[in-house]
């Protein structure tokens, strides 16, 4: 059969260095111009909102069109994506990536070194150990006994931590023999949904997830711990772990980690801290008191792609005792390594779900190498400080209600009007109109049956003036919607 000349030429051109150089330069110029534009011109939209059907139709047309080149396609992607680098992006808990980390991501994708085994990820595995050892030290762990791994997101990291808890605390090995007992974990009712999801994946079911009530500050109610544990035992459950939030997703509230550590020790439970968002305060002298007691946890999760300026997904899971991480996944994989029972930090596949794992460590390392650890402290302090300023601005306005003084960079508030009794409906409409305008991006949440506008201040370039304009815009929309 005669080979296709066309296909052969296409394959060759896909790896042409000069073409890659030309497109790469054009793409970096495109993104650099975008970064400059959103910083200098506040009239640039944050979110070019369109209906889902319209966006889908556009891309169907683009795919079948022979008129657009790859740079034009990149431009279209940029134009139809939310702009997290815009100072008026104050919505979801997604890092505003340091550009240097974006370039490291390009290198990771280009080299495509899966880091599960040493030979496939020599540099990345060594760098991962340096990064995770650094964080273990910041947590307050002993570097001789502790260790950490990187994985793809907080959901996967929390699931892995609970697997470790099950391995350490279940009466019989579920990994080897399946479920022999009714197992359960305890967590605040304000915890991120991924904890609930992880527990269900583990087969714990509805009643195996002990939701402890929150107090008036939306942190776990320490006084309810014993009652919750006793009820679980009375139903025949063997509780294996207590999870602390640092901080909760909806409100940014920090649990009392020392009190949870005491409770875990008294009841021989695994103590895990979900610090996906707020665990980053370990880098801040000003705010690290919020996680007093974190060094007493058996395991800790921290997302680099939230408060630590790293592109998603890059999450760290850290163990007080290194041996716990190696016991979690004990199985044979002869084509990868000789034995599962040796501690080999350089074969990360022994301790994670992932085998072909991205070189995520080089994204964090590129930031640390370029700017030092102090950039993380400055980022946390800048964003948490601004949240305090914003909360005071809200409290000073008659038409607004602040949920609570923020502990983190998450601020919940509502617009109120004497003309509208259904404030939840009004705030939902305000939020929708706001994002459709493209001027700001904020989200919403429901707390105690009431809808609140929710902001997470993630951008270092957001100013007090930006927040003043936001409140003005909300007031104007509220007035217009009631006319």
Percent of the chain's residues with pLDDT above 90: 74
Q: What is the mean pLDDT of the chain?
A: 91
Categorize the per-residue pLDDT at 8 as very low, low, confident or very high, splitting at 50, 70 and 90.
Answer: low
In residues, how long is the chain?
A: 483
Q: Measured between alpha carbons, how far is 283 from 300 in angstroms, rounded to an integer?
A: 15
Nearest to 276 by CA among 354, 370, 170, 198: 198
Tokens (6 digits) for 360 = 């995520």
pLDDT at 331: 41
Categorize the per-residue pLDDT at 9 as very low, low, confident or very high, splitting at 50, 70 and 90.
Answer: confident
Does position 57 have pLDDT exceeding 80, yes or no? yes
Q: Measured between alpha carbons, how far is 245 from 222 in angstroms, rounded to an integer?
A: 13
- Mean pLDDT, range 9-16, rounded to an integer: 88
Categorize the per-residue pLDDT at 73 as very low, low, confident or very high, splitting at 50, 70 and 90.
Answer: very high
pLDDT at 456: 97
pLDDT at 333: 42
pTM for the model stands at 0.92
Q: Among 4-13, 71-80, 170-179, 441-450, whose mean pLDDT is lowest?
A: 4-13
Quote the DSSP letter at residue 194: H
Place of tokens 């929710």: 454
> In sequence order, what are the residues at sequence separation of 6 or more whose Cβ sits closer than 8 angstroms to the Cβ of residue 19?
13
Does position 452 have pLDDT exceeding 70, yes or no? yes
pLDDT at 116: 72
pLDDT at 332: 43
Quote the DSSP letter at residue 359: -
- Mean pLDDT, range 322-328, rounded to an integer: 83
- Mean pLDDT, range 317-323, rounded to an integer: 94
Tens digits of residue pLDDT in 283-304 = 999 999 999 999 999 999 999 9
Nearest to 422 by CA among 391, 449, 402: 449
Q: Measured between alpha carbons, how far is 28 from 393 in angstroms, rounded to an integer?
A: 38
pLDDT at 2: 44
Does position 337 have pLDDT exceeding 50, yes or no? no
Long-range contacts of 413-419 (CB under 8 A, 24+ apart): 413/452, 413/453, 413/455, 414/450, 414/451, 414/452, 414/453, 415/453, 415/474, 415/475, 415/478, 417/478, 417/482, 419/482
pLDDT at 336: 44
Q: Which residue has the higher pLDDT, 338 or 132?
A: 132
Distances (CA, A) of 424 to 149, 393, 435, 458: 42, 21, 17, 25
Tens digits of residue pLDDT in 261-283 = 999 999 999 999 999 999 999 99
Burial class (CB in 10 A: 0-12, 13-18, 19+), 380: buried
- Number of other residues whose CB lies within 10 A of the CB of residue 301: 31
Q: Which residue has the higher pLDDT, 345 or 90?
A: 90
Q: Measured between alpha carbons, how far is 245 from 358 in angstroms, rounded to an integer?
A: 27
SS3 assignment, position 240: strand
**Radius of gyration (C-alpha) of the chain in whole angstroms:** 24
Categorize the per-residue pLDDT at 349 as very low, low, confident or very high, splitting at 50, 70 and 90.
Answer: low
Tens digits of residue pLDDT in 138-155 = 999 987 899 999 999 989
Does position 426 have pLDDT exceeding 90, yes or no? yes
Does position 163 have pLDDT exceeding 50, yes or no? yes
Q: Which domains does the chain have, with CATH numbers?
A: 13-47+82-97+374-483 (3.90.1150.10), 113-372 (3.40.640.10)
Does position 339 have pLDDT exceeding 60, yes or no? no
């Amino acid at each position: 059969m005669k080979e296709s000349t066309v296909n052969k030429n296409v394959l060759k051109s896909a790896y042409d260095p000069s073409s890659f150089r030309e497109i790469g330069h054009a793409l970096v110029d495109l993104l650099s111009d975008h970064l400059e534009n959103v910083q200098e011109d506040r009239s640039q939209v944050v979110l070019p909102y369109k209906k889902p059907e319209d966006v889908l139709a556009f891309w169907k047309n683009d795919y079948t069109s022979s008129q657009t080149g790859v740079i034009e396609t990149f431009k279209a992607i940029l134009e139809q994506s939310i702009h997290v680098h815009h100072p008026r992006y104050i919505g979801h808990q997604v890092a505003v990536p340091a550009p240097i980390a974006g370039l490291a991501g390009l290198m990771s994708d280009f080299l495509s070194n899966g880091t599960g085994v040493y030979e496939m990820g020599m540099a990345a595995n060594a760098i991962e150990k340096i990064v995770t050892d650094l964080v273990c030290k910041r947590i307050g762990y002993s570097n001789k006994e502790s260790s950490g791994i990187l994985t793809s997101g907080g959901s996967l990291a929390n699931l892995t931590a609970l697997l470790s808890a099950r391995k350490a605390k279940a009466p019989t090995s579920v990994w080897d023999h399946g479920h022999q007992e009714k197992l359960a974990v305890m967590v605040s009712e304000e915890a991120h949904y991924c904890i609930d999801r992880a527990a269900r994946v583990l087969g714990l079911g509805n009643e195996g997830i002990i939701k402890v009530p929150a107090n008036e500050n939306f942190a776990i109610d320490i006084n309810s711990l014993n009652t919750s544990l006793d009820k679980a035992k009375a139903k025949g459950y063997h509780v294996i772990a207590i999870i602390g939030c640092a901080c909760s997703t909806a409100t940014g509230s920090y649990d009392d980690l020392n009190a949870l550590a005491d409770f875990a020790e008294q009841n021989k439970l695994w103590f895990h801290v979900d610090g996906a968002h707020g665990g980053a305060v370990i880098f801040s002298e000003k705010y690290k008191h919020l996680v007093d007691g974190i060094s007493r946890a058996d395991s800790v999760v921290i997302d680099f792609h939230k408060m630590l300026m790293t592109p998603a997904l890059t999450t760290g899971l850290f163990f007080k005792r290194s041996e716990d991480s190696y016991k979690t996944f004990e199985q044979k994989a002869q084509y990868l390594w000789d034995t599962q029972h040796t501690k080999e930090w350089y074969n990360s596949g022994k301790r994670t779900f992932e085998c072909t794992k991205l070189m995520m460590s080089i994204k964090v390392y590129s930031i640390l190498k370029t700017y030092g650890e102090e950039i993380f402290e400055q980022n946390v302090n800048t964003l948490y400080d601004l949240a305090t300023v914003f909360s005071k601005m809200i409290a000073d306005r008659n038409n607004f209600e602040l949920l609570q003084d923020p502990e983190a960079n998450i601020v919940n508030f509502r617009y109120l009007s004497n003309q509208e009794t259904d404030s939840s409906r009004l705030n939902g409409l305000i939020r929708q109109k706001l994002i459709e305008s493209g001027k700001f991006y904020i989200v919403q949440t429901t707390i105690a049956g009431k809808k609140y506008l929710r902001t997470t201040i993630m951008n270092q370039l957001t100013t007090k003036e930006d927040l003043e304009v936001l409140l003005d815009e909300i007031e104007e929309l509220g007035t217009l919607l009631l006319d």
